[in-house]
Amino acid sequence: MSDSTIDRVWPEPADDLDDAALLAQTAFPAGRVWLRANFVASVDGAATRGGLSGGLGDAADRRLFGLLRRPADVVLVGAGTLRDERYEGLRVDDASVAWRRDAGMPPHPVLATVSRELDLDPASAVFADAPVRPIVYTVASAPAARRTALEEVADVVVIGEEDADPARLRDDLAVRGLRRIHSEGGPHLFGSLLAAGAVDALHITLAPTVERGQADRIAQGVAVPTRARLASVLRAGDELLLHYLL
Ligand SMILES: NC(=O)c1ccc[n+]([C@@H]2O[C@H](COP(=O)([O-])OP(=O)(O)OC[C@H]3O[C@@H](n4cnc5c(N)ncnc54)[C@H](OP(=O)(O)O)[C@@H]3O)[C@@H](O)[C@H]2O)c1
């Protein structure tokens, strides 16, 4: 078994799924706006190690992370994650570009972010090296000068007064024809989306490690319990890759 071998445990057990099987397993539903989120967490709920998520995932998690991006029209990332994880221009790999071309899609998804403060550098690689003009969702109270600077490199869209409104975010993406929405976090954005009932599905990798300590969980903000229904269970060695419908 290679490090990135992924088996299906449930509903129908199957060994060593290839990329096509994983894509079929995780496909967006046809013809509707669908927002799904992808996270990795330790078995005791830590969403970070040393302040970043990268230390938690292994090769199988990275493989699924890439495949989940592949069919997305838009990759949605909170501004905190964009800064902390040092996102660059969003590009999918060559296999994904070929797959997207065959599916009649543009080579790369659009990157969309959400920010109140707009503390985002227009000269940073996430904008300067973007293959597609990114979208920055913000609020009316955002600093005007930062907004003007970002308008040079991105579509800046106001979707609320103090808080970005997830329903308006979904609507604006749908109007742009970006219906397959794939969110890569982070916890505050996910908390806002959950509170608004704006998340359709969650892909969460349960990393086989107990982290202890004070690391954030995958959802922050006001507690709003959200019931999740299990859609599938994948397994890579000791790691579980779970798909829930919310
Ligand atoms: N385990 C995982 O899978 C995973 C995934 C992603 C991230 N992470 C980790 O999460 C940490 C970052 O956490 P985070 O909670 O700061 O990330 P985040 O949710 O990506 O970013 C939070 C920021 O997004 C903006 N934002 C979120 N909701 C908003 C709303 N309703 N209206 C307006 N703006 C909104 C604000 O931006 P401004 O501050 O610009 O106003 C806010 O400070 C990093 O350590 C990262 O490694 C882990």
Q: Tell me if 220 CB under 6 Å of ligand 1.
A: yes
Instruction: Assess if residue 96 is contained within a domain.
Output: yes
Q: Distance between CA atoms of 66 and 6, rounded to whole angstroms?
A: 14
Residue 116, Cβ density class (10 Å: 0-12 exposed, 13-18 middle, ≥19 buried)? middle
Contact 84, 189 (CB under 8 A): no
User: For ligand 1, atom 22, which residue shows the shortest CA distance?
Assistant: 80
The pLDDT tens digits of the residues spanning 119-141 come to 999 999 999 999 999 999 999 99
**The pLDDT value given to residue 35:** 98
Domain range spanning residue 180?
Answer: 33-245
**What is the number of the ligand 1 atom nearest to the C-alpha of 139?**
33
- State which of 75, 81, 169, 184 you would mutate to test the pocket of ligand 1, scoring each by most atoms of that ligand within 8 A of its C-beta: 81
CA of 209 to the centre of ligand 1 (A): 23
Q: Taking a C-beta distance cutoff of 8 angstroms, is the pair 7, 236 a contact?
A: yes
Residue 61 lies in a domain: yes
How many angstroms is it from 186 CA to the middle of ligand 1? 4
Residue 207 lies in a domain: yes
Number of domains making up the chain: 1
Q: Cα–Cα distance between 36 and 209 in angstroms, integer? A: 24
Structure token pair of residue 201: 């599905």
The verdict on residue 13 lying in a domain is no
Q: Does the residue 14 lie in any domain?
A: no
125 DSSP 8-state letter: H
The ranges of the chain with pLDDT < 50 are none
- What pLDDT does 224 receive? 81
Dihedral of alpha carbons 88, 94, 96, 99, sign: positive
pTM of the model: 0.98
CATH for 127: 3.40.430.10
- Please state, in angstroms and rounded to a whole number, the distance separating the CA atoms of residues 4 and 223: 35
204-243 burial: b if 16+ Cβ within 10 Å, else e? bbbbebebeeebbebbbeeeeeeeeeebbbbbbeebbbbb
Q: Does the residue 133 lie in any domain?
A: yes
pLDDT at 54: 80
Identify whether 88 is part of a domain: yes
Q: Are the beta carbons of 46 and 52 closer than 8 angstroms?
A: no
